[in-house]
Structure 1
Amino acid sequence: MSDNNLKTPLKTLVLACLAAIATNVQAEHGNIELEQLEVTAQHIAPATLGIEAEKREIQQTPGAVSFIDMESVTEGQVSSLEDAFRYVPGVWAPSTSGNDSVFFTSRGSNLDAAGYDMNGIKLLQDGLPVTAADGNNHNHIIDPLSAQYAVFAHGANAMKYGASTLGGAVNFITRTAHNTSPLSLSLSGGSHGERLTRLTASQVFNGYGDGLVTIENKEWDGYRDHNKQTRSSIYANGGIRLSDTVSTRFYVTHRHDDQELPSSLSRAEVRDDPEQANASAKRGAGHFQKDVDIKRVANKTTWDIDENRRFEFGVSFEEQELHHPIVYSPFFSLLIDNTVRNAGTMARYQHKVGNHDWLMGFNYGETRVDGGNYSHFSGDKTEQSSKTENYADTLELFLMDRWQFADDWTLIAGAQAVKAEREVKSTNLATSAVTEADDDYNSINPRLGLIYQLSADTSVYSSLSRLFEAPTTYQLDDGTDTLDAMDGEVFELGTRGHKALGVNSHWGWDVSAYYAKLDNEILSVEDPAMPGQFITSNADDTIHAGIDALLTADIALTDDSAHRLTPMVSLSWNRFRFDDDDALNDNTLPGAPKFVMKGEMLYRHKNGFYFGPTVDYVSERYADFVNSYKVDSYTLFGLKSGWSNKNFRVFGEVRNLFERDYIASHSVRAVAAETDAILSPGAPLSAYVGIEYKL
């Protein structure tokens, strides 16, 4: 495929920036945190930028980037990535049945029925890619409780990580012995048999080395039949300071996760009993499951050459065993049993020269899938029907420059080169017929942006970027023809800042508007005649537009700030649609709601106590491409409370306080019928409590 150049001239970008400045709006970097985090441990080894440096870098990005403070996230129950992403605007991440299986989309990525894929967002751990080389996130779920914080770079703003994805990238920064207490034990749980236990021990050795080990176990009975989960994991990392400027860190992860899957229901089944499982999913029939065993090792070395130069290099390897019975009927059944091996490497070099801040680097990954598809009965393999041999590799090269060409102006210019190879091979064991597909995908993706600093605490920004995303091997395998890569352009305009409200109070905001025109968006539709099978193709033209906003405040109720209110609200409005399609006109793309609002209003006392309500509003969304099947909107209320001091943290949380029936997630059809089993009900009234002790 040929390289493409940016289509819109620089003049358009400059005029848009000047128009934004004329509005004289005020802004902040928009941190997702409820209060300032204090780091009281010993000095942090330079394996990561550090919290304050990370926040400064966010302010130098001409687009939406969200900072996720895990200390704030853990003020309530954290059961999955849904809870970690709760206040990230523009991200829709519902759990399909309350367990670790989460469908997530950012700026309209992954809006199709191929839930197995989970593409469109690149997951990283300390800058090292965790997502497979083809962009697939199936089973690649990072434990948010093991992170100190995370940075979610939306859409094209993820170029600083080299990511070539529509939805962007999220980088989880791991806790180490330098920012964790020597010993901590946490217990939490509550409704639906949820029990989560974590033990962490860490030690710093004379300033030249450190180590941390976390052992955790999760049990979940579920709010639906056939919904149990058992997960046990070990997370460990250790650092060595090789010199005053060079340090290296090793990571080891082992996770065993067994989940029963209740599958989806029809509208009539939801009305009759939303807690039931699909009849084909139960024991004695399909016994649908997703059992995963993951082993991962990684290393990252950092060299702080001097105060203006920094070099990072890392490697990782992961092996994943998957046992996944997912389709069952008297005529057809499907059990996926395979081994996935992912190998990756990355490098980043940062060099500040005068008013220029250069960043260059690369990501390279390889993924191999060996296994096959089987018939089964009640989750036990019977006859192997096909053999699978898939391969993918992706190389992402990137170069960026932040140039402060005037006191209040910063120009960001960059480019990304992507070279991707995809190969899929399936052998029918009954006939020996071989089905193969392979293709190469190459692109050059430029980016240009401007930031204007209106004041010390207020800025506006604008950017124009090219988008590119190659298909996953699953999409290529399911395609009716050879698939093209998705490409397009996105224009973004926004503002971030904070302002004082009186003497001891302040408020802040981060608001971004974006408009993307896409060619060849890859969309998958489940085949109604063969559930579990997908047909994937390219759409001609689509538009992804939206507004993402995070509003926060810290309001002192007394002169000494002993009593405070800390409201926070995350708002997402989007318009994802076809653009004058021959068959679908300007229909809305299914899968994501048009409007989402999530918020809380917490009262806080200086002794560490907090209490207040939470609210979620999710608008209607479609479940098919012809826009004939609507999933209803819903509003949920909750309560959250807790207290913490130096050694203890306790919390209590009630969700869905008024026990509203709602649909958490759903699959997508080309044309959905009322009788189709595509709905996954959300959790009923639920209550959780937790306690953590830190030495």
Structure 2
Amino acid sequence: MKRNTRAIVAALAVVPCAVIHAQDTQTHTLRAVEVMAEREGDQSRKEVEIERSVTPGGVTVVEGEALRQRNVTSLSDALRYTPGVWSASGSTGDSTFLSIRGSNLDATNYDGNGVKLLVDGLPVTAADGNNHNRDVDPLSMRRAVVARGANALTYGASTLGGAINFISPTARDGAPWEVMVNGGSHGQRQGRFTIGTVAGNFDMLVTGEAKRYDGFREHQNQERQGLYANAGFQLSDSVGTRFYVTGIDNQQQLPGALTRAQFDANPRAAEASAVLGNYRLNVQTARVANRTVWQIDGESSLTAGISVEEQKLYHPIVYAPPFFSLLIDTTQRNTGATLRYQRKSGDHDMLTGLNYGRTTVSGGNYSYVPGGAQSIDTAVSNKADNLELFVVDRWKFAPQWTAVYGAQMVSGSREVRNTTVATNAVRNPQADYDSFNPRVGVIRDLSPTSQLFANVSRLYEAPTLYELEDDVRGNNATLDAMRGVVLEVGTRGSHSFDRHRVHWDTALYYGRLSGEILSLDNPLAPGTSLSTNVGRTIHAGLEALVGASFALDNAGAHRIEPLVNFTLNHFKFQGDATYGDNRLPAAPRYAIKGEVLYRHASGLFFGPTFDVVGRRFADFSNTYTVDAYTLWGLRAGYTTRQWEVYGELRNAGDRKYVSYFSVRDVAGANAAILTSGEPRSLYVGARLKF
């Protein structure tokens, strides 16, 4: 494996360098494309590309327009071609496992920590770091910026995996009126519409969606409706404000997990207790937000924002009568605020920011009978707040050289208050978490469209409320925050030569963590977990996205466009008293996702897709191995300025594979932990623009 790794690293290093030293006669063509986007009114594209170009580390931009040419029903689908991301969806679209650079590698499918999610720069992640990615609809975004690891400093994020900022389309940015429909295997039906208007200093855009999914497993039905709206007011030549409203009603059944024998016999079956206990994940979400920008002058701006969100969760998850049943019925309220001041002065571009978040969780954990009585066992009243102050300076100290340095200060508190109703006993762990996290990096421009970069940064992440609630020690003990340092080098860019184009985005990183928080499944209460700090761990890897567009004729009307996302992971304990140098579970050693499409100038495209995923461990003891798998499929479509259609065949060979799983300390052969991946599936969709 080491020999293969060296070969891959060498290849990825040689390709960009060879391209960079090729002829530069076509670089003006790339600039012309940028000017066209700006003329069409899409201002956020320019802002995003500038932000990416002055970040000395892994940042990937996902364009929402490209997602409309394939079947996208989950965050996992949307992030398919984002290097460094391991994401899997084996239940329904709103139950996506998300890990970036080895974050969230434990047992808790319901506690998606390690990545800060934002919409238009305002958080949809709770103040304690817990994120519910079901809040985010990928098809309702203009584009997303994925800042991996410490490269999320400009968002103020303090998370191991970094941050993802989803940018909403607006009527003023030229978002079209459109109707989209898709459907296919396993009873999938989805429809959505977008309408908007611009009237003088006012603009508004509204998107509505409805989705139904019967599922490829028993007890896997989902029904979801969503509304996403924003309205902007240009208050003066220098001040603009925008309001955002989101409402989501998601009702879904959970099929549970299978043992290896059950998976081998019938991967489409549901866990018996999931059917008997009617496991569900029902969430109602309401969110309002505002973002105001004051362009003070040509060199400085001030941005202020605030968001308020409420989530009502109804979540039967354990049913093992007469011994134990668990239904989580809670209301979570999140409030977030941000303030950002940016000023350019000579060769310096400085950004100063402040983020504040507060989360409260009220409700309880219940014993229940499906369709019948429920009685409260534990009353829950938890709260968290988090303050992030950050400053970044981008200093162009020489031609083609930019130094990027800054720091983040984070200060937060966590308090869990669980009252056992039968005895009135109170468990009340609470703690404060503070840290100063510096960062320094450098960017070398190799050409107008390509760069080398490097950085060294401090990592820090405080525990979530769920992790404190499930501390393995019980009582009022509290977990420590995880800390570490990461070194990163890489290159990104694009280049044109003759009638051909190539682009790449690669990064190599090495991080050492102390006190990483991991959650072990509780064998006495399946579906729940116990959290603990471990000693030293290593998070390292290679991330690469490489694509091209090769002309097959002199006019460039016929093109072949390969795209490959390659991620190599090296996540392990380091000299742990219990686990030695074992690998961390959940994430595969390598993952390759790609496609090779033929495109014609008329709008026709078709070609194969492929997924090659390495083996994974399902326990910290490295005794339970989940097999590697290879999938292939086909994509085809036709697109014009007014309409487009597509078809997508997934897992054409109908391969049985495990999408994701719960993690154990030591997983026995009969452990019910496996979630089946999607079998052979066919989807078609259409879009009409007005």
Q: TM-score range with shorter-chain normalisation?
A: over 0.9
1:524 alignment counterpart: 519
| Structure with more contact order per residue of length (Cα contacts < 8 Å, sep ≥ 6) | 1
2:131 aligned counterpart, secondary structure: coil
1:227 alignment counterpart: 220
CA shift, 1:141, in A, is: 2.6
How far apart, CA to CA, are the structure 2 residues paired with 1:562 and 1:672? 55
1:104 aligned counterpart, secondary structure: strand
- Mapped pair 1:240 → 2:240: no
1:454 alignment counterpart: 446
How far apart, CA to CA, are the structure 1 residues paired with 2:365 and 2:614? 38
When residues 559 and 113 of structure 1 are mapped into structure 2, their CA distance, relative to the original with a 3 A threshold, is same
1:491 alignment counterpart: 487
1:176 alignment counterpart: 170
1:553 alignment counterpart: 548
Q: Structure 2 residue aligned with 1:281, among 274, 294, 297?
A: 274
- Mapped pair 1:126 → 2:126: no
The answer (yes or no) to whether the contact 1:374–1:381 under 8 Å persists in 2 is no
2:512 aligned counterpart, secondary structure: strand
1:149 alignment counterpart: 143
How far apart, CA to CA, are the structure 2 residues paired with 1:144 and 1:166? 22
CA shift, 1:457, in A, is: 2.8
CA shift, 1:380, in A, is: 4.4
Q: Deviations over 1:50-70 (max 9, x none)?
A: 202311221211100001011
CA shift, 1:377, in A, is: 1.4
CA shift, 1:532, in A, is: 2.1
2:130 aligned counterpart, secondary structure: coil
Q: Deviations over 1:194-247 (max 9, x none)?
A: 0110011100112x1100111110000000000000001111100000011111
1:50 aligned counterpart, secondary structure: helix
Q: Structure 2 residue aligned with 1:117, among 111, 115, 118?
A: 111
2:111 is matched by which residue type in structure 1? D
- Mapped pair 1:97 → 2:91: yes
1:271 aligned counterpart, secondary structure: helix
1:329 alignment counterpart: 320
1:13 alignment counterpart: none
How far apart, CA to CA, are the structure 2 residues paired with 1:25 and 1:530? 56
- Please give the residue correspondences for 1:608-687 in structure 2 after superposition, counting only pairs within 5 Å: 608-687=603-682
Bigger mean CA offset, 247-256 vs 96-105: 96-105
How far apart, CA to CA, are the structure 2 residues paired with 1:548 and 1:542? 19
Q: Structure 1 residue aligned with 2:560, among 565, 582, 586?
A: 565
Q: Deviations over 1:626-675 (max 9, x none)?
A: 00000000011010011111110111000001111100111100000110
1:510 alignment counterpart: 505
- Please give the residue correspondences for 1:191-202 in structure 2 after superposition, counting only pairs within 5 Å: 191-202=185-196
The list of structure 1 runs, each at least 4 consecutive aligned residues, that deviate by more than 3 angstroms after superposition, is 23-28, 35-44, 179-182
With structure 2 as the length reference, what TM-score do the two structures score?
0.94
1:296 alignment counterpart: 287
How far apart, CA to CA, are the structure 2 residues paired with 1:459 and 1:571? 20
CA shift, 1:505, in A, is: 0.5
- Please give the residue correspondences for 1:363-378 in structure 2 after superposition, counting only pairs within 5 Å: 363-378=355-370
Q: Structure 2 residue aligned with 1:319, among 310, 316, 319?
A: 310
CA shift, 1:381, in A, is: 4.5
When residues 25 and 405 of structure 1 are mapped into structure 2, their CA distance, relative to the original with a 3 A threshold, is farther
Q: Structure 2 residue aligned with 1:306, among 297, 311, 317?
A: 297
The answer (yes or no) to whether the contact 1:94–1:103 under 8 Å persists in 2 is yes
Q: Structure 1 residue aligned with 2:67, among 62, 73, 76?
A: 73
2:215 is matched by which residue type in structure 1? G
Q: Deviations over 1:145-189 (max 9, x none)?
A: 111111000000000100000000000110111234552111101
CA shift, 1:41, in A, is: 7.9
2:406 alignment counterpart: 414
The answer (yes or no) to whether the contact 1:130–1:140 under 8 Å persists in 2 is no
How far apart, CA to CA, are the structure 2 residues paired with 1:365 and 1:471? 15
1:438 alignment counterpart: 430
1:316 aligned counterpart, secondary structure: strand
2:143 is matched by which residue type in structure 1? Y
The answer (yes or no) to whether the contact 1:325–1:379 under 8 Å persists in 2 is no
1:657 aligned counterpart, secondary structure: coil
How far apart, CA to CA, are the structure 2 residues paired with 1:57 and 1:553? 23
CA shift, 1:456, in A, is: 2.4
1:187 is matched by which residue type in structure 2? V
RMSD value over aligned CA atoms?
Answer: 1.8
1:16 alignment counterpart: none
CA shift, 1:36, in A, is: 6.5
How far apart, CA to CA, are the structure 2 residues paired with 1:616 and 1:274? 19
The answer (yes or no) to whether the contact 2:94–2:134 under 8 Å persists in 1 is no
CA shift, 1:497, in A, is: 2.2
1:596 alignment counterpart: 591
The answer (yes or no) to whether the contact 1:111–1:591 under 8 Å persists in 2 is yes
1:537 alignment counterpart: 532
- Please give the residue correspondences for 1:391-402 in structure 2 after superposition, counting only pairs within 5 Å: 391-402=383-394
1:4 alignment counterpart: none
CA shift, 1:533, in A, is: 2.2
How far apart, CA to CA, are the structure 1 residues paired with 2:174 and 2:586? 39
When residues 157 and 564 of structure 1 are mapped into structure 2, their CA distance, relative to the original with a 3 A threshold, is same
CA shift, 1:40, in A, is: 8.4
Percentage of pairs with the same residue? 49
1:89 aligned counterpart, secondary structure: coil
How far apart, CA to CA, are the structure 2 residues paired with 1:489 and 1:183? 47
The answer (yes or no) to whether the contact 1:598–1:616 under 8 Å persists in 2 is yes
How far apart, CA to CA, are the structure 2 residues paired with 1:398 and 1:360? 6
1:346 aligned counterpart, secondary structure: strand
1:307 is matched by which residue type in structure 2? G
How far apart, CA to CA, are the structure 1 residues paired with 2:374 and 2:590? 46
When residues 566 and 380 of structure 1 are mapped into structure 2, their CA distance, relative to the original with a 3 A threshold, is farther
1:289 aligned counterpart, secondary structure: coil
CA shift, 1:139, in A, is: 5.6
How far apart, CA to CA, are the structure 2 residues paired with 1:175 and 1:381? 45
CA shift, 1:492, in A, is: 0.2
1:101 is matched by which residue type in structure 2? S
How far apart, CA to CA, are the structure 2 residues paired with 1:457 and 1:232? 41
Ranges in structure 1 where 5+ consecutive residues have no aligned partner: 1-19
CA shift, 1:105, in A, is: 0.1
- Mapped pair 1:471 → 2:463: yes
Q: Structure 2 residue aligned with 1:429, among 401, 418, 421?
A: 421
Q: Deviations over 1:555-611 (max 9, x none)?
A: 111111111111100000010000111111100000100100000111111111111
CA shift, 1:303, in A, is: 1.1
How far apart, CA to CA, are the structure 2 residues paired with 1:557 and 1:550? 23
The answer (yes or no) to whether the contact 2:388–2:410 under 8 Å persists in 1 is yes
- Mapped pair 1:500 → 2:491: no
How far apart, CA to CA, are the structure 2 residues paired with 1:515 and 1:183? 45
Q: Structure 1 residue aligned with 2:379, among 363, 377, 387?
A: 387
1:694 alignment counterpart: 689
1:256 alignment counterpart: 249
When residues 638 and 554 of structure 1 are mapped into structure 2, their CA distance, relative to the original with a 3 A threshold, is same
Q: Give aligned pairs, total.
A: 662
How far apart, CA to CA, are the structure 2 residues paired with 1:297 and 1:180? 23
How far apart, CA to CA, are the structure 2 residues paired with 1:415 and 1:26? 35
CA shift, 1:271, in A, is: 1.1
1:576 alignment counterpart: 571
With structure 1 as the length reference, what TM-score do the two structures score?
0.93
1:88 alignment counterpart: 82
2:264 alignment counterpart: 271
